[in-house]
Amino acid sequence: ASLRFLADGGSNRLYDAFKHDKQLLEQGDLDSIRPDVREFYESKNVKITKIHEQDSTDFMKCVYLLQEKEQERNEIYDIVATPALGGRFDQTMSSIHVLYLLKDQIKRKVILVSDENMTVLLDKGTHHIHCRLDLEGPTCGVMPIGAPAVISSKGLKWDMNSLACHFGGVVSTCNVLNSDLVEIHTDSPVVWTVEIKQSVQ
């Protein structure tokens, strides 16, 4: 990764996994950082920033700092956030909320990753998704969150043909990849999620 940001307890996790990784920039509320972890990163001249504003999640605070770096470098970076799914349900929904907050930044890809899934937001329009069947699937889903969507698809076991989807009605969960190329057309933003094969985890 060109830039890496850590929020809160993520600092402890990375330290435990990769103690000698120096290419790191940490950002967010650090209430959960262990003293030994803080000391280690500070000794490596890692910038540790405390933001006192409480209206944004740690994830969004990392995004704000990234945007500052982008202005300095005149570049736009894609975002891969991990582990952004699983655990507490409210935190998972908060991560999905970030996808919607950033959906108009069309030059940037935002991918949420966990041990089990990869998740992105598909804005209204037609999308062609190239799948690595040796790494992804078979399970996938296409879900409108917040607003109904009319969805058509190709390349899924249960394809949709102008299907009106919404919570409380029909949603395409527990679908299956039927091709390495999936086409999704939607008239409203939807969440696309695909399983990561256990052999990759």
Tell me the per-residue pLDDT of 96-132, one tens digit each, with 9 for 90 and over: 999 999 999 878 999 999 889 999 999 999 999 999 9
Residue 151 pLDDT = 99
Structure tokens at 59: 């994830």
Q: Using an 8 Å Cβ cutoff, are 110 and 99 in contact? A: yes
CA 177, CA 186: separation in Å to the nearest integer?
Answer: 18
pTM of the model: 0.82
**Sorting pLDDT into bands at 50, 70 and 90, what band is 28?**
very low
Question: Which residues does 21 contact at the CB level (< 8 Å), separation at least 6?
Answer: 14
Q: Tell me, what's the pLDDT at 140?
A: 98
In this predicted model, what pLDDT tens digit does every residue of 145-200 receive, in sequence order? 989 999 999 999 999 999 999 999 999 999 999 999 999 999 999 999 999 998 76
Residue 26 has pLDDT above 60, yes or no: no
Q: How far apart are CA 144 and CA 151, in angstroms?
A: 9
pLDDT at 6 over 80: no
The residue that leads in pLDDT, 151 or 85, is: 151
Closest CA to 188 of 93, 123, 116: 123
User: Higher pLDDT residue, 143 or 107?
Assistant: 143
Domain range annotation of the chain: 115-201
> Which fold is adopted by the domain 115-201?
Jelly Rolls (2.60.120)
Cα of 15 vs its chain's centroid, Å: 21
